[in-house]
Amino acid sequence: MRQAIAKLLSFVVRGYFACVCLGLIGLSNVLASVDVCEDPDKYSRLSIDIVRYSDSTFANGAGVVGQKNNNFDLMFKTNDDKVLFGAGHRYSIFDVDPLQPGTNGHLHTFFLPLHKLTGTDHRSFRASIAPALSASSNVFDNRKISSDAFQLLIALVWGRRLSDRTSLRYGICGDHRFGDYQIYPVISAQWQPHPDWRIQLGFPTSWLSYQVSARLTSMIRITPDGDEWYVLDRTLVNHSQFVYESFALEWAVDWEVGESFAITASVGRQIDNRFEMTLVDQSRVRLSSDSVTRVGAALEWRF
């Protein structure tokens, strides 16, 4: 955990100076991890997004790995804006060559998020929970669900407005964004130095946004982006856990098309990629790979 925090803080600083140089900052939802730690959007929405990655070479010369992500989110809000609930799906494809991992590489996470919000604009509290099933496709296809595929993501987050321009968030979260399941502290400070500019510095996510126009927003952020899946090999007998760890440094632009639709385009780098997997010969390996470029697109319907 200490190493992960140190690495993330280093990336935050690098990402901040990248923001200053770019001048335009954007936000995107096209990540692989399931996230209840960040505050949810307070409107009902349906979104579909994809991310494509360049191939990454393993550090020890063991081969290359390709990755694709396809995501789906559906969220409903109640009339008083105090409860949000929905469903989501993360579909990640890892193509490892020439190694032979004990999984077909098609990995799914299905989850049901529920957010309960209380308090006022000056002091608030949010309790979030998301039961999830995370496994390879052959686990679901052959109905071989195990308790090892079950995940429980949680967040308890307090918010406090310090002034008209600054606010503070703090609490605890539990999820697989660092690969293995971890419960970790969350703390961030938000500052709005200008009506068009907003900055969040903290852990585990930092970002900087700029309102280009009434319908165009740009943001850059740095955040952990990992997960863990219960997998079966092709014999459907041997099972193991496939673990992925990384950080995403991403720039994106969000364009609101009318009142109900938004389109997001993003580009970034997937940093500090690490894998833990069991091969077909039942040996357990930990591998790191080079940073890669990622490109994403998302379509969102707000209702």
What integer pLDDT is reported at residue 60 of this predicted model?
A: 83
Contacts of 156 (CB under 8 A, 6+ apart): 125, 126, 127, 128, 171, 172, 173
For residue 34, what pLDDT is reported? Answer: 84
In angstroms, rounded to a whole number, what is the distance separating the alpha carbons of residues 3 and 221?
Answer: 20
What φ, ψ does residue 21 adopt, rounded to 5°? -70, -35
Structure tokens at 300: 């969102």
Cα–Cα dist 72/286, whole Å: 29
pTM value is: 0.87
Spans of the chain, pLDDT less than 70: 1-32
Q: How far apart are CA 243 and CA 226, in angstroms?
A: 8
Q: Identify the pLDDT of residue 20.
A: 33
Q: What's the pLDDT tens digit per position in 253-271? A: 999 998 899 999 999 999 9
What CATH number is associated with residue 213? 2.40.160.40
Contact 191, 165 (CB under 8 A): yes
CA-to-CA separations, 9 to 25, 177, 219, 298, in angstroms, rounded? 19, 16, 18, 28
Cis peptide before 204 (omega within 30 of 0): yes
Structural domain that includes position 156: 2-302
The pLDDT assigned to 29 comes to 52
Question: How many domains does the chain divide into?
Answer: 1
Q: Give the model confidence (pLDDT) of 5-52 as tens digits.
A: 444 444 433 433 333 333 333 344 556 678 899 999 889 999 999 999
